[in-house]
Structure 1
Amino acid sequence: MSVPAPRVLYSYSHAATGFAARLTGRQAAHLAAERSVLAVVPDATLQLHTTLTPSFLGLSASSGLIPASNGATDVVIGVMDTGVYPIDRASFAADPTSLPPGKFRGSCVSAPSFNASAYCNGKLVGAKAFYEGYELELGRPINETEELRSPLDTNGHGTHTAFTAAGSAVADAALYGYAKGKTVGMAPGARIASYKVCWKYGCMTSDILAAFDEAIADGVDVISASLGSTGSAEPFDMDSIAVGAFSAVRKGILVSASAGNSGPGESTARNVAPWLLTVGASTVNRRFAADVVLGNGDTFPGASFYAGPPLGATKIPLVYGRTVGSKTCEAGKLNASLVAGKIVLCDPGVNFEQGDTVKLAGGVGAIFTSAKELGELALGSPQIIPATAVTLRFRNT
């Protein structure tokens, strides 16, 4: 059986001193035994971790931090994520006369699916894709019928995080008619450089470190990385985000990284190296109320993003998913004869799929109980049938 020849994927000169390569286990062990080699680290797959928020945080376009900093127009934020989708997006529009800060040395790289000259401007000043490690892990080139081998975002996560950081103001924004208002990024004058490191099946650490290397060389001011490990935390010197961030911080670049989606519990936060700005999610003072009212008059607070016609005032029977085929309302497992014309209570599952499942089984509405980890938070989601999310306490009543 032939052994694949070693192949260098990346050479790092800013984020680390080293390289990423395809090696056999024996070759890696031989390299690790060399006294001049500090460490050999296996490539690993990491995963991805409102209009009201600026006012909730006290940010104003007319006073305070935003005008005092001129909206951070001299700042470039490097966003490491799933890329960016700027096509026909007012949130990535820029003044035609607005030029990138002179210190920024990056660029937008064209590809068959990404027209850099059309998509980039004074707002989106950089766009690059890193996939060598990902394709090696796949064992084949990227299938462009599934995802695009370019900076263009086919997931949405990267576009979301880039806008949250530095999106231009957009009037009358709403989600299915909810939360209508002006939406704007936290630093609306800042420029965005997108580094696509995450793909359909994850984000390879070799690609992430290559993006750190490029972002440092490009001269970004801030790096934002909403990604990380989902398993046990690695030692800092074995963690590509911690290593890349350390080099970036030494160059005066602020690195902001997500704490992850795990918890509650000890040791569930990620990206906790002391030189990182570790960011966790929080709540705001707004709720999209869609309460559940039982036949006996008992009312339970709920939340919903359903935008279609209401059920009306008629009382409708309520059944529990467990008694009609599946407590989590899994696809294909609900008994249509027991569900038809009823509202189904579903235990925590994939909310975006549960509503479809209930509808296919003939249900007219759904109630989703939120996961225990969410505590008193009822997390609503867009649905095709009348549906609301409640806390786990509702099911136990």
Structure 2
Amino acid sequence: MIFLYIFLCSGLEGVVSVFENRKSVLQTTKSWDFIGFPQNVKRSSIESDIIVGVIDSGIWPESDSFSDKGFGPPPRKWKGTCHNFTCNNKIIGAKYFCIGDSCGKDDIISPRDSEGHGTHCASIAAGNLIESASFFGLGKGTARGGVPSARVAVYKTCWSSGCVYADILKAFDEAIADGVDIISLSQGSDGEFPNYFEDTYAIGAFHAMKKGILTSQAAGNSGPDLYTITNNAPWLLSVAASTIDRKFLTRVQLGDGTVYEGVSVNSFDQNNTSYPLIYAGDAPNITGGYNSSVTRFCQESSIDEDLVKGKIILCNDFPRGTFTERLISKVAGILVGSPLPKDVADIFALPAVSLSQKDGTLIQSYISLTSHEGKDSLAPYIASFSSRGPNAITADILMPDLAAPGVNILAAWSPIGSVSGVKGDKRKVNYHIMYGTSMACPHVTAAAAYIKSFHPDWSPAAIKSALMTTGNECGWNNLVHPLNNSTPMSVTRNPEAEFAFGAGQIDPVKVVNPGLVYDANEIDYVKFLYGQGYDTKKIRTITADNSNCTQDNIGTVWDLNLPSFTVYMNTSTFFTRVFHRTVTNVGSATSEYRARVTTPPSLINFKVEPDVLSFSSVGQKKSFTRTIEGRTNVGIVSSSLIWDDGTFQLGFADED
């Protein structure tokens, strides 16, 4: 594989990048128990000093999830303030950013969340323990954040029109100056692959990394196609969305007693109520110029509302978001026959259920709808919507980094936020069920904050390493990871393998004791960037020093001290790739780690030198090389390397 790097120069001093000020999109609790993180997990005495910065759509301060009952004053290190907003000892900072016309007349010009997304994400990361929370009785249980004693600082950058890049960069700068410990970012670019310093999120996360702050970011909701992840910078965490063992199912009963089962979060009480059924293709708005070929998709304007009034509509391939206010008060419900995967349950503005196309074609009678909670025995697996790698910017860096629960997540909500996103839906809730990498991201944010509470001096790279090397990914062989007894990720359920789940699903208990970590600092990333073709002038703007691009400080991507190893080849010819890595001992002072390599049957050889690492003190560093060579015609070849001292097993996967 030949890489051609294009060197670009800027004519302005003090400018990192010049790019269009576009708008980005939001990447939209049983989950903690499912991944083995119970309420009574060991907590650090300084968890309440950890500050989680959430860059999102704001927060609803009256939610019980953010009550400051039992909280003392903010940590002394905190420098933040609250703008047009009343904070407390839980929400200790709140700012909003509205540069130009990013916010409109219908927005609440304050950090208050009118949409619900920011509230949901903040409570997943650091919400209080709230018993008997539910969405109209569904998912009832204790809603809680991963670090409920931590403080929250919110930075509102997302408005009804979207999230503007200039606002996001300003929010990063403010969060860094205020003194947050972790930044949670459940948003991202939509289908764009800018280079690292034309990428708002990469720039902001780089600034944060320089100050010792890790950024956790949603991988995106553009899956399951490959090359759909847009946040590819190695100094941040890219989080995929996995399932948990909870599903919301809705039964459809015909007049003859036949029952079908589909998915949806249906809060409407339809028990023992029957309605006439009409096929959408039989209700065309003829006066509007529509016929059955269009109406069958249930596009609102194409339907004759008099023909469907008081009836259940049967649709084919129902496009979300098109069935809105005009018909909500007219029809009794919707049945959707769709070819799309049914791993997520949508919330509709009226009684509805998504069925297989086969079942949809069989339903021609009266029905009733009821929702119930079921168990997904295949979980965890990566949701169909979760964006996939490979890394479109630097192919030899694995993306996503890891996975966390992002489907059917119950968390706090803004009571003035729409439940379904459909105008005319008047339901109000304090807790809402959502899916998306937006929900996965704050799970990892919380796990990172949990690590920080035990190891406040660890760098962002060390925290990232601990999260990745203790994940439950086992790649091609489907064996249980030695550090995690839960069901591992599987290529059977996700044939994209590491390009779907990265290092696997997080294990928040194991993360505080990884034994060894792969650490990196600003200099390491700068060397990597020089090797990627960025010029001295641009990198000086980032580093604010007098560094020069010389032969000594140009690094290769294969020597960047990451916990994963990736080789990208576009040919079946013989290849050799050598990786240089350094691990830092954070476990037992005196220890000896032996390399265990697990490989699939292939024509690729894997070698580790040395294969034994001996340590005599905490903080001691040891280096090794990993050589991967051979040839293959297989699309993806996975292997794993585990450093094992009998107590700690430091694991990671290769992607070839």
For the aligned pair, the TM-score class normalised by the smaller chain equals 0.7 to 0.9
Closer/same/farther in 2, CA of residues 391 and 355 from structure 1, 3 Å limit: farther
Cα distance in 2 between the residues matched to 1:185 and 1:389: 30
Residue from 45, 48, 52 that aligns with 2:23:
45
1:46 Cα deviation (Å)?
1.0
Match of 1:84 in 2: 59
Number of matched pairs: 342
Judge conservation of contact 1:370–1:377 (CA < 8 Å) in 2: no
Match of 1:26 in 2: none
Cα distance in 2 between the residues matched to 1:252 and 1:194: 19
Matching residue's letter, 1:43: N
Match of 1:104 in 2: 78
RMSD (CA atoms):
2.7
Cα distance in 2 between the residues matched to 1:71 and 1:183: 22
Judge conservation of contact 2:168–2:200 (CA < 8 Å) in 1: yes
1:336 Cα deviation (Å)?
3.8
Judge conservation of contact 1:378–1:391 (CA < 8 Å) in 2: no
> 1:69-123: per-residue Cα shift (whole Å, max 9, x none)?
3583221110001111112x111012355222222221222x2xx3x2xxx1221
Closer/same/farther in 2, CA of residues 148 and 307 from structure 1, 3 Å limit: closer
Residue from 237, 261, 268 that aligns with 1:301:
261
Judge conservation of contact 2:300–2:324 (CA < 8 Å) in 1: no
Does 1:334 pair with 2:309?
no
Matches within 5 A, 1:8-157: 32-34=10-12, 39-49=17-27, 51-62=29-40, 64=41, 67-70=42-45, 72-87=47-62, 89-109=63-83, 111=84, 114=85, 116=86, 120-132=87-99, 135=100, 137=101, 142-144=103-105, 146-157=106-117
Closer/same/farther in 2, CA of residues 335 and 193 from structure 1, 3 Å limit: same
Matching residue's letter, 2:150: A
Judge conservation of contact 1:306–1:383 (CA < 8 Å) in 2: no
Cα distance in 1 between the residues matched to 2:138 and 2:356: 21
Match of 1:225 in 2: 185
Judge conservation of contact 1:368–1:390 (CA < 8 Å) in 2: yes
Closer/same/farther in 2, CA of residues 391 and 261 from structure 1, 3 Å limit: farther
Cα distance in 2 between the residues matched to 1:297 and 1:235: 58
Cα distance in 2 between the residues matched to 1:34 and 1:246: 20
Closer/same/farther in 2, CA of residues 298 and 273 from structure 1, 3 Å limit: farther
Matching residue's letter, 1:387: A
Q: Secondary structure at the match of 2:262?
A: coil
Residue from 277, 281, 302 that aligns with 2:237:
277
1:179 Cα deviation (Å)?
1.3
| TM-score normalised by length of structure 1 | 0.78
Q: Secondary structure at the match of 1:73?
A: helix
Q: For structure 1, list consecutive stretches of 5 or more residues without a partner in the other structure.
A: 1-30
Q: In percent, how many aligned pairs have the same letter?
A: 37
Q: Secondary structure at the match of 2:249?
A: coil
Cα distance in 2 between the residues matched to 1:207 and 1:394: 47
1:396 Cα deviation (Å)?
6.2
Judge conservation of contact 2:107–2:159 (CA < 8 Å) in 1: yes
Judge conservation of contact 1:197–1:207 (CA < 8 Å) in 2: yes
Closer/same/farther in 2, CA of residues 172 and 71 from structure 1, 3 Å limit: farther
1:300 Cα deviation (Å)?
3.5
> 1:14-61: per-residue Cα shift (whole Å, max 9, x none)?
xxxxxxxxxxxxxxxxx9534675542332211111x21121122222
Matching residue's letter, 2:304: N
Bigger Rg, which one = 2
Matching residue's letter, 1:348: F
Cα distance in 2 between the residues matched to 1:36 and 1:129: 25
Matching residue's letter, 2:320: V
Judge conservation of contact 2:248–2:345 (CA < 8 Å) in 1: no
1:196 Cα deviation (Å)?
0.8
Match of 1:354 in 2: 323
Match of 1:389 in 2: 354
Residue from 328, 352, 376 that aligns with 2:342:
376
Match of 1:252 in 2: 212
Matching residue's letter, 2:354: A
Cα distance in 1 between the residues matched to 2:342 and 2:152: 36
Matching residue's letter, 1:219: G
